[in-house]
Structure 1
Amino acid sequence: MTDPHVLLTNDDGIDSPGLAALYEELRAVADVTVVAPATNQSGVGRSRSRAVDVDDHEWGYEVHGTPADCAAYALRALEAEFDLVVSGCNLGPNCGEYLMGHSGTVGAAVEAAYLGTPGVAVSAYHRREFFPPNGFTFDVPAAVTRELVERLPESGVFDDVDYLSVNTPLEEHGELRAVEPLADYDVDVREATDDEREQYDGEFRLESDYWDRLDQPDRYPTLERTAYSYPAWSDRAAVVDGDVSLSAMHIPQEAVHSAAVDDLVATYNAEVSVGVPAADD
């Protein structure tokens, strides 16, 4: 069987050690082409640019744009057929719907799915310090990704799934665990303190409870501190347990049809007079 052709991208930039680790590991089981952002693009979600510059790189190409730009450029501009897009390995986990929506790592996989190519977004976490501390390598996440990529072509997973979001520990890990992203997006908006105005250059501070815990290490020194709030089926619970979380996802924005929607449309049309120009006006 021919090795799959993998497009490798990320949101931490083409010089990220997480991307380098995936590149070296995936080459054992796939033909790998790197198309990654020239600079750090963390937190940009699936945002796209109207125009980008592209430079050659020893592993492929570096794009002066977002992760979604990278996926779009590779899948539509290169004269190559890709079987899979792998995005990562991210410096820190992407757990929960709130973070996944903001993540450039996940955004590249979502963009690939919209363009008809399945994707795997890979993020690394450290159980005690959450984000990878200095001195740690990405050998474990890279090995986990290689094992997944090697099995995906024969698995049939992408017959029903558009992309996978994977969170893997940096150290020895437990089982691979099928989970769902935790819905955790509440936001507190308050007037910023003087120090925060200087640091963030804004009059108001927007915080979710999740980011609030991350910003204050004395309140959130370990993942286990908040384990009580995570249901067993969630990606956060898997991360707390030291497992590899795997969320199998459809691309978003699926339309919902319901009786309430039909009633709203019927009531609006019956009660509101709308002037529609005639065809020859």
Structure 2
Amino acid sequence: MFTRSAGLRAVSRISRRLQSHASHSSETTKSAPFNNKYNFNVNPPPIHSYWNQKNSLVLFAFVPLFVGVGYLGKYTGSNTPGFEGLLEFAESESSPMLSRLGFRAAGRLPRLSMSSIRSLTTETTITDHATGRVIKLTDPAHPELADYPNPKPELAQDKDPYAKYDFPQMRRNYGDKLNIDDDLYDMWSPDYFQFVSDSTALKHNAIFFSTILALAGAVYFLELNPEKPAMPRAYPYNGLAKDLGSGSEKTDYFYKVRTDEGAAELGVLSEDDDVKAQRVAYEEANSDFIKA
């Protein structure tokens, strides 16, 4: 019966057989070149060389035909049924028809090898189809990264700003391994919310308000504030309410300023003689202005 191992052995045997036919055909063509126009005495190359160049896919038409029939022993004269019988018939010297119709043409195709057929792709590895190298994935969840050593992301804003960097603006050095999402963690990325526990928040607030209260207490108890440039004073006559524009006692509360409550009890000092003489002299000298 046809199995996977038998199929692989069959491909290998056909490849070796047809490679030898192709090399023999090329040597014959080189030793006896054919010139249809000037040299009619030289034997032309066999017709199957032209057939192979133009119709090399005939091979792929005959193989499914023989495989589909099933057991080919009665057609090939071999005791081996199935695909193995076809191989023995193709390799025998009693099969000029098949060799002429396309088996030798397959020798011109790239030879198949076991390493090119097998593809080792698993959950943790992938295969580079160009080189055949098996690549172990660093992160099976992201096979597109292959074996890139994706480092742990680190915010550039959390790095030491006073350290020496090759790129101070980006806080990066030559040869640093970059995370695949480095554009989300560099200096131009938005600020990230960093969780702060309740105990840390209370501690920071306690330090802040304690500092303000300590400063205010030091100013108050140590009398660090400067003295006032003048003493606060009070004014007689109900805080100069009438002088400031009050028309009645009902509106005195609105116009008056700081009231000297003891001025009414102490009374008003008598006018000094010198001050009185100066006032009379001033009124006489400016009588015309005062009357106007």
Say which structure is richer in helix: 2
- Tell whether the structures are fold-level matches, with TM greater than 0.5: no
Greater C-alpha radius of gyration = 2
Please give the TM-score of this superposition, normalised by the length of structure 2: 0.16
Say which structure is richer in strand: 1
Please give the TM-score of this superposition, normalised by the length of structure 1: 0.17
Q: Of the two structures, which has the highest relative contact order with CA contacts closer than 8 Å and spacing of 6 or more?
A: 1
